[in-house]
Amino acid sequence: MAISFDLILRGGVVVNHDGEGARDIGVRDGKIAEIGVASTADAGEVIDCRGLHILPGVIDSQVHFREPGPTHKEDLETGSRAAVLGGVTAVFEMPNTHPLTVTKEAIEDKLARARGEGGHGGMFCDHAFYVGATHGNPQQLAALEMEPGVAGVKIFMGASTGDLLVEDDEGVRAVLAHGRRRVAIHSEDEYLLREGKARAREGDWTSHPEVRSVEAAVRCTERLLRLARETKRRIHVLHISTADEIPILAAHKDIATAEATPQHLTLAAPECYERLKGLAQMNPPIRETHHREGIWRGVAQGVIDVIGSDHAPHTLEEKSKKYPASPSGMPGVQTLVPVMLDHIANRRLSLARFVDLVCHGPNRIFGIAGKGRIATGYDADFTIVDLKAKRVITDAWSASKSGWTPFDGMAVTGWPIGAIIRGRRVMWSDEIIGEAAGAPVRFQEAL
């Protein structure tokens, strides 16, 4: 009697802990049931993956969908559409939204919206939400970080878009002293950022890296590491923008993990500001080429643990305001995979290292239960890519409400062909299939 599965992926090159190899995958009840399926096995659905690579489902551990924001820059449905069209199967959303995700009620509200309740469209990808730290809620954080669907706690040490800010050592120490899961931090020194505002040149976006200086990033990361040592708390430093922070972080890998973004690995000042103007503005800033190269060295040396998109969309109308009135942030969840695949094609990155950065890395540092690997018993989440496909990223392809991308017109080699989440084909060949059915990500420390 032939073995039967719900789904078989046939003929693809599987990339997992065992290396790369042509193996068929059998899926049953939303889980990976067998790697190396016999040719005689049958299934309710068989997907021909010949010529394609099958990766673990890509996890974007930093997005800002803004939902339900007063100007509707994004919502959970449109943000998750962009995610799956880009081959991303799970996202962690940041708390600087409206209303702020700082209470149990706000977490429950987000999860309800993600399910499509209350007239909302629901999320197509799996998801988790960060809890925002404030000066007023440290005592509640140990309980909040254990709530279902919570990715952990987030601290903004430098002001960015939104209303969350814990800039002082005493406040950060209080947050780190309550709870035990890894804490994610936006690391820019608020005191130096306030001084830097005087360096803004109206209408000149090339002054943005001067306003939010290298010193502001470095000083804050040094302060943060000292506080993490004091409180014996694991931390995750987001969107590294300077070459200077790489050796500092390398000396503290026992407690600190770090993230880079495709933007900081691809764009460089002043060219990006001269060409894109406000569309290149994000926090912390895109900096000069030597900083970009320094972050790449951090990737090569293993100092950078994950790549996240920092998807933070604003409308073109908002972005057209003269600097410094223009808001910071750019869409990125949909372009993460194709931009990084192009770096693979250009030999800046290996495919195995990419999988480590966007699958194994998030699994490892956040303690994700059952995602981030192609292994028997794990969720059947797959990002299926064509490493030879040549495409051009365009604004028209963007599913974000913002309707643009800083990579418009960029020719890339490598493209996401499919996204499968818990055994269900959600995207194939640039089309979304079926209804929104995303579910909360589970975490080992909160089970």
Asked whether the beta carbons of 309 and 335 are under 8 A apart, the reply is yes
Q: Report d(CA 209, CA 73) in Å as an integer.
A: 25
Asked whether the beta carbons of 65 and 82 are under 8 A apart, the reply is no
Q: Is 57 helix (H, G, I), strand (E, B) or coil?
A: coil
The two three-digit tokens of residue 406, written as one number: 């800083």
Nearest alpha-carbon partner for 229 in 169, 271, 297, 286: 169
* Alpha-carbon separation of residue 145 from 94, 129, 137, 142, 388 (angstroms): 13, 10, 12, 6, 42
Asked whether the beta carbons of 45 and 7 are under 8 A apart, the reply is yes
Q: Is 70 helix (H, G, I), strand (E, B) or coil?
A: coil
Beta bridge partners of 13: 22, 53
Q: Report d(CA 92, CA 57) in Å as an integer.
A: 14
Contacts of 10 (CB under 8 A, 6+ apart): 24, 46, 47, 48, 49, 50
Phi-psi region of 58 (alpha: psi -120 to 50; beta: other; left: phi over 0): beta
The sheet that has 4-10: what strands, in order across it? 31-35, 25-28, 4-10, 42-48
The two three-digit tokens of residue 404, written as one number: 């643009």
Q: Report d(CA 381, CA 128) in Å as an integer.
A: 16
Contacts of 432 (CB under 8 A, 6+ apart): 81, 84, 85, 124, 426
List, as own/partner pairs, every contact residues 315-318 make where C-beta atoms lie below 8 angstroms and the sequence separation is at least 24, other chains included. 315/71, 315/73, 315/401, 315/402, 315/403, 316/402, 316/403, 316/404, 318/71, 318/73
Task: Fill in the DSSP letter of residue 74.
Answer: -
Q: Is 25 helix (H, G, I), strand (E, B) or coil?
A: strand
Could you tell me how far CA 401 lies from the centroid of its own chain?
18
Q: Cite the active site residues.
A: 310
